[in-house]
Amino acid sequence: MTDYETAALAAQWVGSVSSALAVVVAAVFGYLTLQNNRRSRDAQQRASLAAASGGTQHRQGLVAGARTGGSTLRVAHRSGETWALVNSGPDTVHLVRIEGLTDLDKRRLREVPPEPTPLDAGQSTEFVLTSRYTMSGPANVVVWFSDRPGGTVLRTVLQVPAP
């Protein structure tokens, strides 16, 4: 092989490796852009909720606990990614159901009770909120419940703090 052919082969290898690296860099930046867009959409949904709420009575539901009639519902950390919805009030709440507030919260929420359940005073029900690298930070969960059997279904939003 001549010096010219050796140089041409080396140039082809350099070109091929640099092209492969460019594809990897583009894929990484594409992934980061996708994650940023998801977080941006999540922040926009939270801002829309705050703007639609307007009054302070709705904002009180965006804390770690919310007073609802005769019951006080709050979120307590158990261990790792496991959290509990605790009824720390004196009355039973019925038809308790938990779901995420925003799309990101819904994707992070795992292992919720499949059926609406009652929670007596002092009882709790557990759920898992994943906290991955791309989905970390606080979350909001929507708790649907009724103060009495067959009563009107109410809704409150509780914040799950960042672990």
> What sections of the chain are H helices per DSSP?
3-53, 56-59, 103-108
Structural domain span for residue 27: 1-54
Domain identity same for 64 and 130 = yes
Point out the domain boundary residue: 30, 54, 78.
54
Q: What is the structure's pLDDT at 51?
A: 61
Strand 93-100 with 139-146, pairing: antiparallel
Domain identity same for 115 and 75 = yes
Domain count, the chain: 2
Name which of 11-15, 82-86, 113-117 the model is least confident about.
Answer: 113-117
- Supply 141's token pair: 């969960």
Domain identity same for 60 and 26 = no
Domain identity same for 62 and 28 = no
Is the predicted pLDDT of residue 97 greater than 50, yes or no?
Answer: yes
Q: Are 94 and 151 in contact (CB under 8 A)?
A: yes
Domain identity same for 45 and 95 = no
Domain identity same for 26 and 68 = no
Q: What is the CATH number of the domain that holds 129?
A: 2.60.40
Instruction: Tell me the pTM.
Output: 0.62
Point out the domain boundary residue: 54, 73, 92.
54
Domain identity same for 61 and 23 = no
- Which residues make beta-bridge pairs with 97? 144
Express as a percent the part of the chain with pLDDT over 90: 24
Residues 32-38: contacts with CB under 8 Å, at least 24 apart: 35/134, 38/103, 38/104
- Supply 81's token pair: 């990614």
Q: Each residue of 77-95: pLDDT tens digit? A: 988 888 999 998 888 899 8
Amino acid (1-letter code) at residue 22: A
Is the predicted pLDDT of residue 153 greater than 60, yes or no?
Answer: yes
Residue 85 C-alpha from the chain's centroid: 15
Domain identity same for 26 and 95 = no
